Amino acid sequence: MYNPIKIRVENLTFSYHKTPIFENVSLDFEAQTITAITGPSGRGKSTFLSILNRLWESQPVARMQGKVWIYLDGQWIDIYSRTLSKPDLRRKVGMVFQTPNPLPMSIYKNMAFPLKLTGMADKALVEAKITRALEQAFLWDEVKDRLNDSALGLSGGQQQRLCIARALVSQPEILLLDEPTSSLDTGAASVIEDLLVSLKERCTLIVVSHYLEQVSRIADTALKLKAREFRQV
Amino acid sequence: MKIRILGGCLRMFSWGAVLLLTGSVLVLLGYLLVKGVPSLGRELIFGQVDVLDAVLLRKRVFDGLFPAIAGTLSVVLLSVGLAIPVGVCAGIYMSEFATVLQQRVFGLMFDILAGIPSIVIGLFGFSGAIFIHKYVSNDFRPCMAVSVVALAFLVLPYITRTTQASLQGLSIQIRQAALALGATRVQNIFYVLLPQSFSGILSGIILAIGRCAEDTAVIMLTGVVATAGIPGSLLGSYEALPFYIYYISSQYTDSAELMSGYGAAIILLGVCAILFLLAFIIKRQLAGPAGPEPGRFYV
């Protein structure tokens, strides 16, 4: 049985400094699954993620052709349409980076930051959303008594879970994770893996990972990026 | 062996350079203190006028440095206050919005502006004042407003360049954190990038304060005079400590007058130290919460 398609990439060609990274790539990603992308370093795995939320556009030397469609709110949306706002897209397509990047502020303010960007001022609602996101990220019990402490004082694993929780607070439909466990020890990585599997119910996840064991543990589909093309493994 | 000798020479030379610099500062400060401290006192600042009367502007101080201190503080604060918004905005543009070509062209312009001798900027200020006097208002003449604008131009490149460098120095992780959460470019600048680079920007502002406080060439041509009293208006003349030091050292008639020049130099250093301290306190107050640097792991 197949899940409905959530993301469709059509004839994607991408170059950086006139060096081709992808050539004529077409791919579908199923909803509420975990797709892992593996492959050698420097081949464009992270770049592929940034194409799905348009974060690559801050690089002036990159060029893209092709279409990326995402099924959002009951309709297919061309994410490179001029009418689509990038901030709105990125709230629906969250991203977590390889290195945890909590902002240098308290845990609470980190969590409230995405809501502040949307102008949400109802304190009770903000607190409820923060609590829920921290629970979803298995972090609530560890930080509930020190929400006003600096987020930079958390351990690496906690910081990464905070970043995942911060992405979840906007209730994204897709979550992109760029090697989320590569800088963590096995214990912290295992917690993150369990977390990702639990998030599958409410999100479509695309995870870049170097670890084949991890891919086999958590992924429903695995793609290998090789020679500017994706191949299913 | 050759590398070891070279390394030893480099270490010795570096150590000598640091020693030379530190020694120069200590000798300079020591010399100033030895020469200036005997003349320091209430009389040097307030003359024969009671302190309270002078501070509350009930009596004018004719033979003390109080008007020059007030003039220096006013000019420094107004110039830096004028230069900060313009300089920071220009730095934000250079870092966040300018294309590579624009960065090169505008960067070159800012570097040229930074390299213009202050006497030339003073001359431009003076010419501007003459122009306004001739074509706009006969009452207009070199005054504090002209000095403030000229000094602001003098320090603008420092603030712009340090703002640009601080913003561009932020890691890609910090730059992308807010964008990936749905922040607009402007929200990213105001909520994340500027607070993160505040420390660097403040360094530029501190540099600007020092430059404004010490510059004599600009103010000499644009409104400072030997005797003007407490500055009452932006359109009036004023006194300033660096000009007093220059004036006394070139015109003194006896050793007591020269000693008062050294005293004024110590007071100028003190004024700068207070402004630096204020900037430092602001930096500490507005700095983010304490914690390890982002990107390091404590699993």
Summarize pLDDT for A138-171 with one digit per residue, the tens: 899 999 999 999 999 999 889 999 999 999 999 9
**Interchain CB contact of B289 with A (< 8 Å):** yes
> In angstroms, what separates the C-alpha of B179 from chain A's closest C-alpha?
7
Give me the total of CB pairs closer than 8 Å, taking one residue from chain A and one from chain B: 100
Of residues B236, B240, B250, the one with CA closest to residue B219? B240
Q: Mean per-residue pLDDT for A96-104?
A: 90
Q: Mean per-residue pLDDT for A62-72?
A: 92
Question: Residue B288 is nearest to which of A94, A104, A159, comparing CB atoms?
Answer: A104
User: With an 8 Å Cβ cutoff, are B181 and A113 in contact?
Assistant: yes
Mutate to test the interface with A, among B198, B297, B298 (most CBs of A within 10 A): B297
Nearest CA in chain B to A98: B173
Question: Residue A90 is nearest to which of B181, B288, B299, comparing CB atoms?
Answer: B181
**Interchain CB contact of B102 with A (< 8 Å):** no
Is the ipTM, as predicted for this complex, more than 0.85?
yes
Nearest CA in chain B to A49: B180
**Is the pLDDT score of B299 beyond 60?**
no
Which pairs from B31-38 meet CB under 8 Å and 24+ separation? B32/B262, B32/B265, B32/B266, B32/B269, B33/B266, B35/B259, B35/B262, B36/B259, B36/B262, B36/B263, B36/B264, B36/B265, B36/B266, B37/B263, B37/B266, B38/B259
> In angstroms, what separates the C-alpha of B156 from chain A's closest C-alpha?
28
Mean pLDDT of chain B: 89
**The two structure tokens encoding residue B9:** 């020479």
Helix/strand/coil (H/E/C) assignment for every residue in A119-142 = CCCCHHHHHHHHHHHHHHCCCHHH
**The two structure tokens encoding residue A10:** 């059509």
Contacts of B182 in chain A (CB under 8 A): 87-88, 90-91, 114, 117-118, 170
Question: Residue A183 is nearest to which of B99, B289, B297, comparing CB atoms?
Answer: B297
Supply the pLDDT for residue B296: 37
Type of residue at A216:
S
Summarize pLDDT for B73-95 with one digit per residue, the tens: 999 999 999 999 999 999 999 99
Supply the pLDDT for residue B297: 37
Type of residue at B78:
L
> In angstroms, what separates the C-alpha of A96 from chain B's closest C-alpha?
8
**Interchain CB contact of A129 with B (< 8 Å):** no
Summarize pLDDT for B234-273 with one digit per residue, the tens: 999 999 999 999 999 898 888 888 888 999 999 999 988 8
Supply the pLDDT for residue B30: 94
**The two structure tokens encoding residue B233:** 């208006």
**Is the pLDDT score of B225 beyond 60?**
yes
3-state secondary structure of B17: helix
Question: Residue B291 is nearest to which of A97, A104, A166, comparing CB atoms?
Answer: A104
> In angstroms, what separates the C-alpha of B277 from chain A's closest C-alpha?
24
Which H or E element spans position A205?
A: strand A204-208
**Interchain CB contact of A60 with B (< 8 Å):** yes
Pairing outcome for strands A221-226 and A229-232: antiparallel
Give the model's confidence band at B288: pLDDT under 50 very low, under 70 low, under 90 confident, else very high: low
Supply the pLDDT for residue B79: 96
User: With an 8 Å Cβ cutoff, are A167 and B181 in contact?
Assistant: yes
Tokens 């006192």 correspond to what residue?
B41
